[in-house]
Amino acid sequence: MKRYYVDAFTGKGCLGNRACVVDCGSVTDAWPTDEEMMKQARENALPETAFFLSDGDSYRLRWFTPDIEMDLCGHATLATAFVISSLADFSGREVVFDTCSGKVSVNVASDGMLTLVFPSRPPESAHLPQNIMDSLKFKPLEVSKARDFVLLYDSPEKVAGMSVDRALFDKYNIDPGGVIFTAQAVEGADCDFVSRFFTPQATILEDPVTGSAHCSLIPYWSRRLGKSRLVARQISSQGGILYCEDCREQVRISGYAKFVE
């Protein structure tokens, strides 16, 4: 097995989110055992470790955090497509993955931009569990949920300044989801909205850049702002930039990646 380390959703002023990508060979080879993949993910101590097998013209893909196997992961999918497209000429083509969430694809542009085509997960109005509400430094204006809870705030400063009391926050397991904190960007900013993403009971509390969270954030902000094309910034300490498009049943999430030197 070959391992690659990639920073995904990098950009000006953004370090992106690091993933380990493990090439497990072809479908004639067996997956490593679940126990081995989980062990590698724990040893990597990164938000996600992706494992892929080549299968003719497509690839099989699985994602592991240090705690669980995930149902969908954006930055590790982007990182895997970046590795595959760097090993062969995929410019102007797409990398297709067979995953537990169905088929997902990544378009590879000649300038190096990669575009995820993911399912749309519009959030609906919801009630936040009381222990999570009590754990928050700032209370949200609005709560909705698809896989993840989406908490709306009135300023990017509150999102940037958010912290949680982990003793309370970790009492609720949203397996496999998390809590998104989001706000509209200020006028004149280089993005339309900002976000952060925390996961209760996870080894890594805050995910630096969360592509899958934008399956909900894109339809949410597209509806609120009345536009289908959006620029998003995830304002963790590392930061990431995502170019987004709402396509009704699907969302398109674009960004750049680079190998870790």
Q: Pick the catalytic residue from 35, 36, 48, 94.
A: 48
Beta strands per DSSP E along the chain: 2-10, 17-26, 48-55, 58-64, 69-70, 94-99, 102-108, 114-119, 124-125, 142-145, 149-152, 179-184, 193-198, 206-207, 229-234, 240-247, 250-259
Distance CA 244, CA 229 (A): 6
43, 44, 36: which is closest to 20 by C-alpha?
44
Q: Any idea what DSSP says for residue 7?
A: E
142 is catalytic: no
**Which sequence positions are flagged as catalytic?**
48
